[in-house]
Amino acid sequence: MKVAAKVTRPADAGERENWDDSGSGGMAHPVTEGELDLSHGVILYLDDITVSFDGFRALNKLTLSIDVGELRCVIGPNGAGKTTMMDVITGKTRPDSGTAFFGQTMDLTKLAEAEIAHAGIGRKFQKPTIFEHHTVFENLELAMKTDKRVRRSLFARLRSEDYDRIAQTLTTIRLEHEADREAGLLSHGQKQWLEIGMLLMQEPRLLLLDEPVAGMTDDETERTAELFVSLAGQHSLMVVEHDMAFVEALGGKVTVLHEGSVLAEGDLASVQADPRVIEVYLGR
């Protein structure tokens, strides 16, 4: 439980109000509905997941786990099951068998997409989907974690801490000088960053990033790598990417997927040296 508290940032303090620290009678893990339990230091467990589409096994007994605060890269040739894996985690696709747990208690295979997003898994799709006619500031404002019902929105005023949060995110994604610009006018790389910023405003615990540097310039790619490295620790990240230079710049643990299961796992150098990996993927 203390581990959980360590990774919980102050902004989330309100969520833990129903955790009874004082007189719980020695209960080790108060299990609260919809509450993320990170007591074992692992944020995501995928165990023996199989997904078939018309007889084709997109995922084949995939087993994978991600630690709290980890920055994990997932690579693999086309059709290795990377996107399907993300679909399973976000509830878009239901596995035929196997289990997927977010923290110790949350069974992702039983939650709806919106519930999973609310629980703290944020996903960035390949194509940035920002609100092009809104300013950068407004995009972040809309994404901010808050009461999103109509009657609150009608009278919503940004408090100074909201301004601070948005300003902080703007700095993180290096768009502090573009706050008042229409988002549609940003460069491709900036749009990707804005989308990442919008994810961050939702205060996710786990970020899933699908080919985040596709279409970026080398300079932008480099800055994105810096951004992700700075996010790790505070957040857990899972990055699917083809760009090896980018994966190298991230420097975390690498998982190689092949035909729906894990082929190899380790740091990039050891993975690249693995003959099986060379055969299926890197050496072609």
- List of residues contacting other proteins (CB under 8 A): 114, 117-118, 129-135, 137-138, 141-143, 148-150, 153-157, 163, 166-167, 170, 176-182, 184-185, 198, 202
The C-alpha atoms of residue 12 and residue 252 are separated, in whole angstroms, by 26
**Which residue lies nearer to other proteins by CB, 154 or 269?**
154
Rg (CA), the chain: 19
Burial 213-225 (b: 16+ CB within 10 A, else e): beebeeebbebbb
The C-alpha atoms of residue 172 and residue 155 are separated, in whole angstroms, by 28
The C-alpha atoms of residue 203 and residue 207 are separated, in whole angstroms, by 10
CB of 199 to other proteins, least distance (A): 10
CB of 139 to other proteins, least distance (A): 9
CB of 112 to other proteins, least distance (A): 12
For residue 265, the one-letter residue type is E
CB of 213 to other proteins, least distance (A): 21
Residue 67 host element (H or E): strand 56-67
**Which residue lies nearer to other proteins by CB, 28 or 150?**
150
For residue 35, the one-letter residue type is E
**Which residue lies nearer to other proteins by CB, 143 or 256?**
143
CB of 274 to other proteins, least distance (A): 37
**Which residue lies nearer to other proteins by CB, 19 or 131?**
131
**Which residue lies nearer to other proteins by CB, 45 or 125?**
125
**Which residue lies nearer to other proteins by CB, 2 or 149?**
149
Structure tokens at 280: 């299926």
Structure tokens at 23: 């007189």
CB of 273 to other proteins, least distance (A): 40
CB of 33 to other proteins, least distance (A): 18
**Which residue lies nearer to other proteins by CB, 105 or 202?**
202
The C-alpha atoms of residue 228 and residue 186 are separated, in whole angstroms, by 20
**Which residue lies nearer to other proteins by CB, 128 or 212?**
128
CB of 93 to other proteins, least distance (A): 16
